[in-house]
Chains A and B, each alone.
Chain A
Amino acid sequence: MAAPAPLHDAHEADHAHQFEEKEQQREAGSLGMWTFLVTEVMFFGGLFCAYVIYRSLHPHGFELGSHLLEVKFGATNTAVLICSSLTMALAIRSAQVGKSKATIITFLVLTMLLGLTFIGVKLYFEWYHDYLDHIVPGIDFVYRPEWGSFAPEVQMLMVFYFFMTGLHALHMVVGIGILTVLTIMAARGRFSPRYYAPLEISGLYWHFVDIIWIYLFPLLYLIGGRYSTGGH
């Protein structure tokens, strides 16, 4: 930062020079994150739009493709992410009501661990096994005889599956990076009932990434009458 502006607050380190007041800074940060999330909605929105159009063009192929995915892992990960949203919210609340720094750190680390669990399940139990099953488009994808002429459509569903969950996982990795920074800030005692904006703003991002998954899970894993028709 260049020349320091006149400060109206004791927490000089938290106050950026371009703002006149800390409240203005907090509101700007929050609006900035909301605006960014609007961009993210449009970013994933383009993909969801393409998904919806292709699913309506190729309903049967998408159903066959969906049956390649393991609902139990998708469901487990859904639960893991919802829990992580809870711990994230608790971390914010702990700072808000002035709980000890150990409490804030505990909740942040828990959130991170849940995020890592999600990525671990995704990487090992899902993607790695998909690779062993030869159903990773572009890398190793073998048409199965039972798909018949629907094989290209099954592959397309898997393209969307890997791209959408991959993009989502990338957002999770970024989120875990942010949580690491927050944990360091918390360890330095930066958060208090007077200053917890970074927690709140990062929380918005974390919840958004969860919500994306809440949409991805049914759209990708739960297509068609998997159980009524006997499934696989």
Chain B
Amino acid sequence: MPPDLRTRLLGALLPTLLLAGCATEVESPTESRIGRVQAKSGEVWGRDLGQGLGLEAWDLCQELGEVDCITDAHRITLGGVEPTVLGIDQPLDNAAVSAPIAVDRVATSACAERYRRDQAGPAVLFGPVLDGDVASYNARLMVSRALVERLLSRRANADEDAALVDLYDALKPLSTDLARDWSVGACVVVATSTEALFY
């Protein structure tokens, strides 16, 4: 086969081959046999959260209006260390029993702060819902995709899109402020997912 023809044939087939490979991988990922997963410390997770939401670390969460959640109030619970006063120079061996609750608490505070600032404008994350209507599928889809991109640094797959968009239906009978609750709730879903908390 002449070299130029071979090159042209490969060029034509390559996208198809790549797509086929990707599709196979997405549909049936191989479960890790090692399972070597580590928890992010609260400070690392908080940095990622702040970066994703466009907030400074000290804006994420304050208990009682003055105690920083990540560096003080929940520092050890979130897997941090504090050798100077407490003498804790290693993260806890196992997750603290209240850690998932503390994580939800910090994320709720941070997501609510992002929503509040977006309301005041200019919107960074929740604009499609604030500018339009939370009942709009497309508005929710745009926000959902932005959340995954900003907090997990990747694109959402179709099932993840659906899970976030459909949260609206689950909240409808419960909420008195659907735009806010869906926005903050979807943000909490992504921010407290195991993918955001572990590496």
Q: Do A and B come from one complex?
A: no
Which B residues form the contact surface with A (CB < 8 A)? none
Which A residues form the contact surface with B (CB < 8 A)? none
